Amino acid sequence: MLMSFLRVPLAALAVLAMSITAGAETLKDIRKVAVSGDGSVSAALVKMTGQQLKQAIRSTRRPVPLPKVMMDVRLSNVVRGTGAQAGRNSAQVTVALRDGSGASVSSENFTVNSFMPGAKAGDKALANAISQRVAVAYRLAPIKAVTGGKRSGKHKLRSGSRSTTPSAVAAAEPRAEDPIIIPSEAALTVRPRVRKPKADVSASADAKPAPCAATSATSCN
C-alpha cells in the first residue's frame, strides 16, 4: 500500500530531474547571434530573423550565472508552396552554439513551417515562426514581430506653428454628429424684464396744489 502511494511522487521527481538535466544542456547565456542562409533564402528573411532573435536575446535575463556562448543560425532549403499549396512555406534551420574560443558547444536541426500567401508577407511569417522556434528551444524571451519602417519626421510640427493639414482643419470644424440644441417654445416667448423708474416720493409730497380759480364751469368747493 505504501509503495503504491509513493510511486506517483517518485515518478514526478524523476520526470522533473530529467527535465532539469535536459534544460541544463541547452540553457546558456547567449550574448550574440548571427543569421545566414543559402541561395534559397531571401535577404529579407535573414534580416528579419536576425532582428527578432537579437531583440529576444537582449530581453532575456538569466537568474543565475551561466556559460556565455554565441549562436549561429543557418537557414537553408526554403520551399515556397505554389498552386493549391500557395502560402505554405518551410525552411531548414540549423542552430549551433559556440563558446568564446569558437569551439562548438551544441548543435540542433529542425524544420519550421508557416502559412502566409505573398512574397513579403510570407517572409515575415516564416521569420517569425523561425524566431519563435529558436526562442522556445533555447529559453529566450518571447519574440516580438518585426514592425514596419520607422515613422517619418516630416510631418512633425514646429513649436509655436499652427497646423494647416486637412486633419487639423477637420478637427477645428464642428462634427456632423455633434448634437444640435433647439430652444423650446417657452424660451422663445420670454420677454426681457425692464425695470420702471421709481417715482420721486419726496417731490410729490412737497408739491403744493395749484390755486383754484372759480369759474362758471368750475367750483372750488
Evaluate whether residue 150 is within a structural domain. Answer: no
> What CATH number is associated with residue 124?
3.40.50.10610
Strand 104-115 and strand 29-37: pairing? unpaired
Looking at the domain assignment, is residue 38 inside a domain?
yes
CA angle 65, 67, 71 (to 5 degrees): 125
The model's pTM: 0.56
Is 74 within the bounds of a domain? yes
Distance CA 56, CA 50 (A): 10
Residue 113 lies in a domain: yes
Is 61 domain-assigned? yes
Distance CA 146, CA 166 (A): 31
Domain hosting residue 113, numbered range: 24-137
Contact status, residue 67 vs residue 99, Cβ threshold 8 Å: yes
8 part of a folded domain: no
d(CA 125, CA 113): 9
Decide if pLDDT at 46 tops 50: yes
Q: Name the least confident of 2-6, 139-143, 216-220.
A: 2-6
Number of domain units in the chain: 1
- Nearest CA to 70 out of 43, 96, 40, 89 is that of 96
1 within domain boundaries: no
Residue 216 covered by a domain:
no
Mean pLDDT value of segment 196-212: 59
pLDDT: which is higher, 178 or 81: 81
Residue 98: strand pairing partners: 70, 104
The per-residue pLDDT for range 151-169, each reduced to its tens digit, is 544 444 444 444 445 444 4
Give per-residue burial for 76-112: e unless 16+ CB within 10 Å, then b: eebebeeeeeeebbbbbbebbbbeeeeeeeeeeeeeb
